A and B are shown apart, each in its own frame.
Chain A
Amino acid sequence: MSDHEPVVGIDLGTTNSVVATVRDGVPRVIPNRAGQLLTPSIVAVAKNGKRLVGALAKRQAITNAEGTVYAAKRLIGRRWGSKEIEDARRVLPYALVPGPEGIDVRVQLGGRTLSIPEVSAMVLAELKADAEAWFGRPVRKAVVTVPAYFNDGQRQSTKDAGLIAGLEVMRIINEPTSAALAYGFGKAIEKKVVVFDLGGGTFDISILDIGRSVYDVVAVGGDTYLGGEDFDRRVMDWLTFTFAKENGGIDLRQDKMALQRLKDSSEKAKCELSGAQAASIHLPFLVGGADGKGALHLDKQLAREKLEELTKDLVDRCIAVTERTLKDAGVRPNQVGEVILVGGMTRMPRVQRAVRDFFGKEPCKGVHPDEVVALGAAIQAHALGAPQGKGEEVLLLDVTPQNLGLMVVGGYFATVIPKNTTVPTSQTHLFTTVQDDQTQVRIAVLQGESERAIDNELLGEFILDGIRPARRGEVSIEVTFDISADGIVGVSARDADTGLEQSITVTATSGLTEEELRRILDEQRDDLLERKQGEREFGERRERALAVVREIEELVPAVQGALERTRFGKDAIQKAESVLARVRAAVAAQDSAALGVEEESLDRTLQLFKGLAATGRPPGR
């Protein structure tokens, strides 16, 4: 089994990401190189120009709010000017700008303009490197999860991110489905299962019918703009509001650093309230006083009831979406055999209570909400990556989350493939020319649930070119829309009479163009080379430095007595100790440059110690 190429499952989350694999038939999370199971989905460029990912990026977020990108998942695959982006711009401390075509969204980071897939790719690359360190060999194939409610553009962009990170994304799977896979792993289950997934940024609900190791998704629903961060924001708003009231109208939102500290402590208080009845929020020296007087502190108590009151409508929204989805699937709450809670937000007692009241049964708590999605992805990666076995592998049958359709005369939306259709699937439509000698047909493909085309997400405009000239209505073009197992939409066309393939040009998609993707991949290769070189350099420096440190440490007992007798002895010992501390810190932070700076003093200390050890006196005296 270990002869096969390693494959991993990646939960690319809004706030945290996790990588997992199946080893010896058991799914397990791969710890990152710092030993943690969760890697924050945060990317930063530090003041010194160094690129940071994960915990390192998170740690400096407060002091470098503008140079830190978090929650990129909320932006991926979105269009510039969409409601989601407008909302995000209001609350995110980093700068968003439109892409070159004015269609997609870019972030400005460390003087560079990056597409969102590039940002996500940095997180993926970090996880890939963690997995490679764990396996001790290259990892090239992965299954990546997305919220079930992600549309085509968001899925495509996530796939692009994988590509940029040097991963072959074997499959994009839905997070709730993935959770169900992990839940059902190794059990003989025959029942309907609901996955209630309230994560950092999105809410997803999926209904599955599980039997004979086939995981058949019946219906999905969700809200891509409802998650833990909305709960945090309620706490933040409450804090800023009461703070303004108590301090003569000081608006904390004007101060980006204060805002970041508020955000962190709001999240922390919210998490604490899952276990405790009250949490205290203590932020000393939060902001300067109004008229140059001393700094102001924030000191607040937040009771669990208050949090529940502040977020009641958010919980209600979750239940409303749940109810609608069950109705779509024709499933009554009492027919559900198990409810699985996924996502950190489901730790909130109020959320658990709402779920229990709705389904009339205790939700399953046997799965770890932070890891379950990645574990499921690993199971699917294993099923797709391992060679054909005895038919015991799991099989996933997922559905498309939204109606796929076209814009028709009058600005209406005509559904071609309805939501909750099992994928892969395809549907063929016949188009005819409406003018004599018409050579082009323009088709706007959309995804959504509104009857009006404009309210739905435009996936792209397809132009059928080079239609043979004929009288109007004489040419029929067969256009086939297909949705792959990834949930990604494809369009192909052929002349119904001649059977010739018709060329299609895609304009106005929310993702990266082929050309851009190629350019990014080229750059990435250069970056990678540079980074590899940097890593090698750091590795060499570290080896050298650690060898010297060991030598010095071995010499310490021998020279200590001699040193203490000399005039400058105490001073020298202190100096040596601080050099060693700085070297250790640089090694821990993987800071190659800092390590380089210390090399010289390290060598000097070694020379000093060697001399002392040999003569009992400092060298040259």
Chain B
Amino acid sequence: MSQGCRRRGWGVSAERYSGFVFDPGELAEDVELDVARRREILFVDANLSTFTHWQLLDLPWNAPAEAARAAYLEKVKIFHPDRYSGKRLGSYRSRLERVFRKLTEARDTLGDEARRAEYARRTAAPEEFARIEARKLEDERRSEERRARLGRTNPLVAKAGRVRELVKRGKQAFEDGSFAQAATDLQMALSLDPRNAEITSLLADARRKAAALRAADHYDHGVSAEVLGRPQKALACFKAALEADPGNLRAGAAAVRVALELGDVAEARARAETVVRANPSAAVAHEALAIVLEAEGQKKEARRELERAVDLDPRLDSAKERLKKLRWSFLG
């Protein structure tokens, strides 16, 4: 690499500076530097903002860290202001300092393997970028293969591989919205690796989501049964929805309503209480309970529930309306 450096060093100026126009004024400044050095300093200083770190160090793109460090040591010998101690430098002093700072920045970036890789990605030409990405994919595929090979020979690794596979599948299912499938996969993974906290929490999530989905399904069935004039069937559906997901408000409210319509006050009361327990801070839940209580003739309790509902959600107009009526009936 040091040979490459010399070849493209500042000695071969004709090629290096081709296309660069020197300002005669700057070149003629009264300083104690020979012309070759002036040209090199002016050239590099002018290109500081466009050069990549590697260009600054006269290295090919993505050259390794050791090469960058070696090139830095050579470059600072040209650009460190101490090299010209006691000499008249004029405007060249600040140029040297600027270049030196930039060289140091290059060294700091390229000397660290992680930062160098990151910098390489940022400065890569499109085809280089594609190559890096391809290599990354290739690396991933290889390590996958390696794991599979290990899995075939080592039972422990095989188990770990199985767990990994199940979790991966479970996560995929979760993302696709098949929560029941995800829960099944994760349940199996957990049975292989019972103390895995990540799987435990993933499984809980999947189960919750699966239940909610089932509840929504039952609710939809219930709604269509009601529309088709089969309130008994509808009530059963809503109850099933509540069983799957006690927090499903819509199903709760619908169950209460249908039960009351069917004249089954006890059933309505039981559903309303379930809903309030599952959603103590949902205004609608309290409203539903109030409706049941009113139907049972317990006006005082009904009024309390309505007040709580309005308290929780002041914009719940149906509850306000009902409350107003209840108050009137008291007066009357």
A binds B: yes
Task: Indicate if the CB atoms of B101 and A388 lie closer than 8 Å.
Answer: no
* CB-CB contacts below 8 Å: A368-389 with B: 383-385, 387-388
Task: Indicate if the CB atoms of B87 and A388 lie closer than 8 Å.
Answer: yes
B162 to chain A, nearest CB (A): 38
Give chain A's interface residue range (CB within 8 Å of chain B).
20 to 34
Known contacts A170-B85, A211-B73; decide if A397 and B80 are in contact (CB<8 Å): yes
Known contacts A212-B73, A214-B73; decide if A395 and B100 are in contact (CB<8 Å): no
Does A113 touch B at the CB level, under 8 Å? no
Task: Indicate if the CB atoms of A214 and B76 lie closer than 8 Å.
Answer: yes
- Chain B residues near A425 (CB-CB < 8 A): 101, 104
What string of 1s and 0s marks CB contacts (under 8 Å) between B83-98 and chain A? 1111100000000010
By beta carbon, the residue of chain A nearest B80 is A395
Task: Indicate if the CB atoms of A424 and B81 lie closer than 8 Å.
Answer: yes
By beta carbon, the residue of chain A nearest B87 is A388
Task: Indicate if the CB atoms of B82 and A384 lie closer than 8 Å.
Answer: yes
Does A576 touch B at the CB level, under 8 Å? no
Say which residue of A170, A209, A212 sits within 8 Å of B74 (CB atoms).
A212
Give chain A's interface secondary structure class.
strand
B148 to chain A, nearest CB (A): 35
- Chain B residues near A216 (CB-CB < 8 A): 73
Say which residue of A385, A388, A426 sits within 8 Å of B84 (CB atoms).
A388
Task: Tell me the complex Cα distance, A212–B81, Å.
Answer: 17
Does A512 touch B at the CB level, under 8 Å? no
Count of A-B contacts judged by CB separation below 8 Å: 45
Q: How many residues belonging to B are interface residues under a CB distance threshold of 8 Å? A: 18
Does B327 touch A at the CB level, under 8 Å? no
Task: Indicate if the CB atoms of B85 and A395 lie closer than 8 Å.
Answer: no
By beta carbon, the residue of chain A nearest B33 is A388
* CB-CB contacts below 8 Å: A139-173 with B: 170
- Chain B residues near A383 (CB-CB < 8 A): 82, 85
Does B125 touch A at the CB level, under 8 Å? no
Task: Tell me the complex Cα distance, A426–B80, Å.
Answer: 15
What string of 1s and 0s marks CB contacts (under 8 Å) between B252-265 and chain A? 00000000000000
B116 to chain A, nearest CB (A): 14
- Chain B residues near A384 (CB-CB < 8 A): 82, 85-86
Does B77 touch A at the CB level, under 8 Å? yes
Task: Indicate if the CB atoms of A395 and B83 lie closer than 8 Å.
Answer: yes
Task: Tell me the complex Cα distance, A309–B73, Å.
Answer: 45
Task: Tell me the complex Cα distance, A170–B86, Å.
Answer: 9
Task: Indicate if the CB atoms of B77 and A391 lie closer than 8 Å.
Answer: yes
Does A422 touch B at the CB level, under 8 Å? yes
Give the interface centre of A212, A384, A385 by most chain B CB atoms within 10 Å. Answer: A212
Task: Indicate if the CB atoms of A395 and B97 lie closer than 8 Å.
Answer: no
- Chain A residues near B104 (CB-CB < 8 A): 397, 422, 425
Give the interface centre of B74, B76, B82, B101 by most chain A CB atoms within 10 Å. Answer: B82
- Chain B residues near A387 (CB-CB < 8 A): 86
A214 to chain B, nearest CB (A): 5
Does A552 touch B at the CB level, under 8 Å? no
- Chain A residues near B97 (CB-CB < 8 A): 424, 426
B85 to chain A, nearest CB (A): 4
Does A235 touch B at the CB level, under 8 Å? no
Does A396 touch B at the CB level, under 8 Å? yes
- Chain A residues near B70 (CB-CB < 8 A): 211-212
* CB-CB contacts below 8 Å: A422-447 with B: 422, 424-426
Task: Tell me the complex Cα distance, A397–B70, Å.
Answer: 14
Does A485 touch B at the CB level, under 8 Å? yes
What string of 1s and 0s marks CB contacts (under 8 Å) between B153-169 and chain A? 00000000000000000
- Chain A residues near B82 (CB-CB < 8 A): 383-384, 395-396, 485
Known contacts A211-B70, A383-B82; decide if A395 and B87 are in contact (CB<8 Å): no
- Chain A residues near B84 (CB-CB < 8 A): 388
* CB-CB contacts below 8 Å: B314-328 with A: none
- Chain A residues near B74 (CB-CB < 8 A): 212
Say which residue of B73, B77, B100 sits within 8 Å of A424 (CB atoms).
B100
Task: Tell me the complex Cα distance, A396–B80, Å.
Answer: 9
What string of 1s and 0s marks CB contacts (under 8 Å) between B55-78 and chain A? 000000000000001100110110
By beta carbon, the residue of chain B nearest A427 is B101
* CB-CB contacts below 8 Å: A182-227 with B: 209, 211-212, 214, 216
Task: Indicate if the CB atoms of A385 and B86 lie closer than 8 Å.
Answer: yes
B residues apposed to A, CB below 8 Å: 69-70, 73-74, 76-77, 80-87, 97, 100-101, 104
**Contacts A396-B82, A397-B80, A485-B82 known; 6 new A-B pairs at CB < 8 A:** A212-B70, A214-B76, A383-B82, A388-B84, A424-B97, A425-B104
Question: Could you pull out 12 A-B pairs where Cβ atoms are within 8 angstroms?
Answer: A209-B69, A212-B70, A383-B82, A383-B85, A385-B85, A387-B86, A388-B87, A395-B76, A397-B76, A425-B101, A426-B101, A485-B81
> Which 6 residue pairs spanning A and B have beta carbons closest together?
A384-B85, A212-B73, A214-B73, A422-B104, A211-B73, A391-B77
